[in-house]
Amino acid sequence: MDATAAPLEGVLAAARAWLAQDPDEVTRAELAALIRDAEAGDAAAADDLHDRFGARLAFGTAGLRGRLGAGSNRMNRVLVAQAAAGFAAYLVEKAGSAGTDAPPTVVIGYDGRRNSDVFAQDSAELFAGAGLRAILLPRLLPTPVLAFAVRHLGADAGVMVTASHNPPDDNGYKVYLGGADEGSQIVSPADAEIAAHIDRVAAEASVADLPRGAYELADEAVIDAYVAATATVAPAPAGAAGMNWVYTAMHGVGYETLSAILRLAGYPLPVVVEQQIEPDGAFPTVAFPNPEEPGAMDLSFATAREAGAEFVLANDPDADRLAVAIPDPAAEGGWRRLTGNETGLLLGWRAAQRAADAGLVAPASLACSLVSSPGLETVADHYGLDFHATLTGFKWISRAPGLVFGFEEALGYLVNPETVRDKDGVSAAVALLGMIAEAREQGRTLADLLDQFAATFGFFQSGQVSLRVDDVSIIARIMAALRAAPPTEIGGVAVERFEDLLTGDEDASADVPPADVLRLRLVDGSRVIVRPSGTEPKLKAYLDARGDSADDAAARLAALDAGARALIAAAQA
């Protein structure tokens, strides 16, 4: 046997063992064909098997997320079964350590992606088979409903089967903890502890031999409770009458729940983007079902032009994010999507005003991820509130002490932390509708609110440079190059301070745990933050500038953008 045959034989053995325990006819046929072709000498099939079995989808604080297909490096029923059994073992162990006699309770939700319902049902059966009380939500629903259900039902944990706004061929497995974690997503060390249990199951058990049991189907009262709680975020004021707006679910699961809330809260229903309003895991009208991506909201804008709408709201497919667009004659097509920072600052302003009206001061707080606009700290200072900058992800934002509002620039907003400890694009939509309706009472628009914010707090501009790669090692090389030779200027402006949050050196602040993040502060008050994406094969540079006017801030941001692109290109060379 030659040197190249031995690794293939190992991969073939792993593939055959996987095939023997795979309950899915589709992935079984897919894998059987690859094995047959690789055994016959097909190099492409062999390469495909190496990709599928040369690694394993890693379970981390974001749970699992990857492309659908057979193999340990794909999302499929075998991998999900191993994850469910491992998570169940973790919950049983945790309950035992706490001296709890009652079996742990876990709630499972799912969205409209391919196989989400199958993965959710498998998980519910395996949780029940492991002795847990398993409660499956009654139909496909937004991720925030699952996060709500964990707290509402007093569950020990929750699982949401979703890949959020990832490409159509992806799916994922997001994990929440109840109790002291209050329905937030997992953080370290829980991720490593769960991963160890999953790896043990994968090594020691066949999925075919894992016990399954009977699960409960959640009552509609859980969804009714979420609808009722979210409607109280912003009951419709008089200014909501006659509101003309457009909404898209982007082929996701948001509209059924949102429309029920709108009726209860008293808002007029929107003009919907008919081609995208029903759940469809194939996402036929968008290349990438993420409202941030170019072209993703084109149908929304066309619908808005035809309807003469005042604004557009869009949820991503699992409705945990919210995008907002307003008419803008200077924009292509006459519509401009607000950045996540613009929307987050408006909602943060709203939250701070309401906190002040309720007599709240520090330690009540506003929080955002460290890559989101520094403008939120200015708002917090203005109203006497605390401010916290966290690592990216709502698993961190939701844990900020005294939280009354949190956001991150990637269109995520947490407006009702007493109800949902995760980003929630549905409740954020209701909060924003309330702001718009109140402005309408005074003859003002959403654009006017943006102008008022700038006049009150200053002119903030944010941008982002993204590098998508096929080989993630490129990202590591760029980060290493920047650490080895920190830049002294960006876009012609001197770097005042270079902070490496991974090493926690003397220039890095202690406000977040160690992370693979570089933060560069410039002498003019601008900021550049560079980090790998946590969910996609991307390197991201987040740019923030503050100017004396809108034009000044825009000019500073443009210089930052050009400088950041040059910096990344040089580090990649």
Residue 172: both structure tokens together: 């994922």
For the four alpha carbons of 341, 545, 461 and 353, in that order, the dihedral sign comes to positive
CA 290 to chain centre: 11
Contact 185, 394 (CB under 8 A): yes
User: Which candidate, 207, 212, 59, 21, places its Cα nearest to that of 127?
Assistant: 212
Tokens for 460? Answer: 């903030």
Based on the number of CB atoms within 10 Å of its own CB, is 281 exposed (0-12), middle (13-18) or buried (19 or more)?
Answer: buried
Residue 126's closest CA among 236, 214, 60, 11?
A: 214
363 cis-preceded (ω within 30 degrees of 0):
yes
**Cα dist from 344 to 30, 89, 216, 270, 492, whole Å:** 44, 39, 38, 22, 29
SS3 of 484, please? Answer: helix
Pairing of strands 105-110, 157-161: parallel
Type of residue found at 465: V
| Contact assessment for residue 97 and residue 104, using Cβ atoms and an 8 Å cutoff | no
Token pair for 430: 């209701």
527: left (phi over 0), alpha (psi -120 to 50) or beta: beta
Q: What is the DSSP secondary structure assignment for residue 267, as one 8-state letter? A: P
Q: Distance (Å, rounded) from C-alpha 271 to C-alpha 277?
A: 10
As a 3-state breakdown, the chain gives helix, strand, coil percent values, each rounded to 5, of: 45, 20, 35
State the amino acid at position 147 in one-letter form. A
The DSSP symbol for 164 reads T
Amino acid at 19: L
CB 517 within 8 A of CB 501: yes
b/e string for 397-430 if b means 16 or more Cβ within 10 A?
bbbbebbbbbbbbbbbbbbbbebbbbbbbbbbbb
How many CB atoms are located within 10 Å of the residue 7 CB? 12
Contact 334, 183 (CB under 8 A): no
**Alpha-carbon gap, residue 321 to 417, rounded angstroms:** 15
Is residue 225 helix, strand or coil?
helix
DSSP class of residue 348? H
Helices (H) and strands (E) in the chain — how many of each? 17, 22
Does 164 participate in catalysis according to the annotation? yes
Beginning with the edge strand found earlier in the chain, give each strand of the sheet holding 311-315 in spatial order: 271-272, 245-248, 311-315, 322-327, 335-337
- Determine which one of 164, 184, 398, 526 is catalytic: 164
Residues noted as catalytic: 164
